[in-house]
Amino acid sequence: MKYVDEFRQRDLAQQLAAAIRQAVNPDRRYNLMEFCGGHTHAIFRYGVQDLMPANVKFVHGPGCPVCVLPIGRIDNAIQLVEQHDVILCTYGDMLRVPASGRKSLLRVKASGADIRMVYSTQDALRIARDNPGRQVVFFAIGFETTTPPTAVAIKQAHAEGLDNFSVFCNHVLTPAAIQNILESPEVRAMGSVSIDGFFGPSHVSSIIGSRPYEFFAEEFQRPVVIAGFEPLDVMQSALMLIRQLNEGRHEVENEYTRVVTREGNLKAQSLVAEVFELRRSFEWRGLGLVPYSALQVKGSFAGLDAERRFDMPAISASDVKGCECPSILRGVKRPTDCKLFGTVCTPDNPMGSCMVSSEGACAAYWSYGRFRQPEMPDSEESAA
Amino acid sequence: MDQGDAAACVDRALAMCLALPAKVVAIDAVTEMATVALGEVRKDVSLALVEDVQVDDFVLIHVGYALNKVSQEEAERTLQLFAEAGLTGEVQP
C-alpha cells in the first residue's frame, strides 16, 4: 500500500541502523520514551529495539487511551447499561478491559445488556436514529485524534435534535500527561527511569500540530521528535533524537512532515474548542489525578452530556491485586517485571489494561514474543 | 486472503488508534462522505474534519474519519532523508 510499504523497506532500515550505530556516543545512555501506543506497537512488531545499540533504549509511555482509563470509569459505563438500560456504543478496544467485580463490557453484554461495538461515531448516531425509544450513549475515549470525531457527532446530534443520544466523555490530552510524567514527585519517588528524549505522537500531532510541545521541550530541556508510525519513521526519529542529545539541543523536530504541520488541523481544533472544555482534573491509571488533562462537554451542549443526563457517581476502584499496569504505564517497570504477565494475564484472558489493547506494552511484549529473548544488557548502572 | 478477511483487517485497523493512509476514490459533497481505497478494500469515511480534499488525494483514516491529507511531496522528502542518513553509516552485512 502506498505510504506504508515504502516506510518499511528492509535495506533502508539497515542503512538507518548503521547510521544510528555511528551516531551514538558509547559513553552515554539514550532513554527515549515513546508516549504513544502506536509507536510501542511498531517497535515490537518490527523488532526496532534489536536494531539499536545497547545504550539506546525505548521506554514505553502511557499513550494508550484504553490502558490509562481508570477502572472506575468503566464501572460507570457498566452502571449505565445495568441501571439505566441504555444502549451503550463503544470502540471495540474497550470491550474486554477488566472492570470491578470480574466484570467487563463484554461479559455484561453476554449477560444480555445492549452494548454495541462501533467503528465510528457515525455508527453511534445511526443507532440513536434507529432506536428513538431508547437512550443511546457513546462511551467516548481517546486522545486528541479521537476527540474531533466525537465533537462532530455531538454537533450533528445537536443540529438534528437527536435527544436520545448522549456522550460519556473520557477524552484526554497528551501534553498534560507528558508533563506530568516529567514533573511528578511521585513518579520520581517510584524510581522512574530518567527519560532523555521523547518521540512525539504521530496522529495526535496531526490534529494538535507540533507547536504544543515547544513549551515542554524548553521547560524540561528534553528534545521531542514527532515521529510517524512506520518502523523507518521510528528509526529516523531515534537518529534525530540521538543527534539532538549529542549536540546538547532540546528542540521540537518533526519527522512526520507528510502529515504533521506546526499548526495542526485547524478545522478539527476549532470543532473541539466549540464542543469541549477542560476538566479541572482527571484520573489517569498509573498517573493518578492530573490537572487539566481531560475534556468535558461544554455547557452549550449540556443536553448531550451523559454525565449530566444520568446519575453517575465518581467510582474509585482498585486494580487487580498484583497487576503492575500502573508502574508499566509510567515506564517504571517492564511487563516482564509483573508476576501476572504470561501466567494468569494473557491477551486471551487479560487481567490488566496493558494486556487488553494491542497498543498496550504487555500485549506487545506477549504478541511478538520479545519476552522470550534474554534481556538486553543494562547500561543504566554504568551510565549513572 | 479473501476480500472478507481483508475487510476484517481494515476494520480492525480502523478501530481505535491505528490510522492508515487511504486514497480517495469518490466524494459526496452533500453528506461530506468519501469512499476511500485501502489496497483492494473500499470504505466510506467522513470528511467533516478536513478541507479541500479531492479525488485521488491520500488521507489518513481514523475511526471512520479522514484526519488529514497526506503530502506526497513531504513523503518523498522523508524517504530521501532516510536514504541520506544511510549514506553516512556503513551497512554491515
Instruction: Let me know if residue A129 belongs to a domain.
Output: yes
Work out the average pLDDT over B18-26.
Answer: 87
Q: What is the per-residue pLDDT for A178?
A: 80
- The Cα of B26 is separated from the nearest Cα of chain A by a number of Å equal to 18
Contact A99, A66 (CB under 8 A): no
CATH number of the structural domain spanning residue A32:
3.40.50.11740
* Alpha helices for chain A (secondary structure H): 10-23, 37-45, 65-68, 71-84, 105-110, 121-130, 147-160, 174-183, 185-189, 203-208, 212-220, 231-246, 266-275, 306-309, 325-329, 353-356, 361-367, 380-383
Any CB–CB contact under 8 A between A76 and chain B? Answer: no
Give a yes or no: residue A382 inside a domain.
no
| Tally of structural domains, chain A | 1
Positions of chain A with pLDDT lower than 70, given as ranges: 184-193, 370-384
Cα A237 to Cα A244: distance, rounded to the nearest angstrom = 11
Residue that is written with C-alpha cell 516482564 in the block: A336
Residue A306 within a domain: yes
Does residue A373 lie within any of the structural domains?
no
Q: Is A207 on the interface with B (CB under 8 A)?
A: yes
Residue B16 to residue A146, Cβ atoms within 8 A: yes
CB distance from A95 to chain B under 8 Å?
no
Torsion-angle region of residue A66: left (phi > 0), alpha (psi -120 to 50) or beta?
Answer: alpha
Q: Is the dihedral of CA A20, A21, A25, A26 positive or negative?
A: positive
Domain residue spans of chain B: 3-88
CATH of B3-88, one of 3.40.710.10, 1.10.3720.10, 2.30.30.140, 3.30.230.70: 2.30.30.140
Q: Is residue A70 part of a domain?
A: yes
**B:62-91 residues touching chain A, CB 8 A cutoff:** 62-65, 67-72, 74-75, 77-79, 81-83, 85-91
Return the higher-pLDDT residue of B90 and A218: A218
A353 — contact with chain B (CB < 8 Å)?
A: no
Helix (H) or strand (E) holding B73: helix B72-88
pTM: 0.88
Structural domain harbouring A7: 1-318
Q: In this complex, do B70 and A259 lie within 8 Å of one another by their Cβ atoms?
A: yes
Q: Which residues of B touch A123 (CB under 8 A)?
A: 64
pLDDT of A19 reads: 95
A203 and B67 in contact by Cβ < 8 A? yes
Could you give the CA distance from residue A139 to residue A133 in angstroms, rounded to a whole number? 19
pLDDT tens-digit map of A30-41:
999 998 888 988
Percent of chain B whose pLDDT exceeds 70: 72
| B32 contacts in chain A (CB < 8 Å) | none
Which A positions 287-346 lie with beta carbon below 8 A of chain B?
A: none
| Helices vs. strands in chain A: H and E counts, helices first | 18, 13
pLDDT-based confidence at B4, cuts 50/70/90?
Answer: very low
ipTM for the complex shown:
0.86
**Ramachandran bin of A198, using left for φ above 0, alpha for ψ from -120 to 50, beta for the remaining angles:** beta
Candidates B63, B76, B80: best to mutate against A (most CBs of A within 10 A) is: B63
pLDDT of residue B3: 43
